Amino acid sequence: MGFIHLDSVSLSFPVYGAGKRILKKELVRIATGGVLKRQDDKLITVTALKNITLTVPNGMRLALIGHNGSGKTTLLRLLSGIYEPTSGHVAIKGHITSLLDIMISMDEESTGYECIKIRGLLQGLTLKQIKEKTQEIIDFTELGDYLYMPLLKI
């Protein structure tokens, strides 16, 4: 029986690329012994999740609704194990398969068959297991021989 349990989970993360802590500033900070530090210390931190407590028992379907930037993706990434919480406790029993990006690791030059193989391996399957499932996947896509073509052309 699988379950997901979150206990007062919070997650805040730094946002880089806003021109803040780049290496030069880090070196300046070390060299100047923190005199300049006060100006540069305002690293932008986003508190995306705050004190979330949630229990999803086995068999439950849960929809996540929220406005843009409310932290839906962040919560899903946390549940997928991509982000680790800043505080709180996460317990998940079972196998998590995230489908945050359906095109993950599919290069447009790859053929459909290669995509099946790559995705299968990323999912933790062995080549043998993938081979067993391939026919089923081919039938599902209804693409037939087009799967031999690069993704770009399908």
| Residues of this chain that bind other proteins (CB under 8 A) | 2, 13-14, 16, 22-24, 26, 77, 80-96, 98, 100-101, 104-105, 107, 109-110, 114, 117-118, 121-122, 124, 126-127
User: Based on CB atoms, which residue is closest to other proteins, 35 or 122?
Assistant: 122
If one counts every other C-beta atom within 10 angstroms of the C-beta of residue 133, the result is: 13
Counted residue by residue, the chain has a size of: 154
Helix (H/G/I), strand (E/B), else coil: 8: strand
**Minimum separation from the CB atom of position 142 to other proteins (A):** 25
Structure tokens at 26: 């880090």
DSSP state of 111: B
User: Based on CB atoms, which residue is closest to other proteins, 103 or 139?
Assistant: 103
Tokens 């790559």 identify what position?
Answer: 118
User: Based on CB atoms, which residue is closest to other proteins, 23 or 62?
Assistant: 23
User: Based on CB atoms, which residue is closest to other proteins, 27 or 139?
Assistant: 27
Tokens 């070390």 identify what position?
Answer: 30
Helix (H/G/I), strand (E/B), else coil: 45: strand
**Minimum separation from the CB atom of position 126 to other proteins (A):** 7
User: Based on CB atoms, which residue is closest to other proteins, 137 or 150?
Assistant: 150
CB 131 within 8 A of CB 40: no
CB 139 within 8 A of CB 153: no
Structure tokens at 110: 């790859």
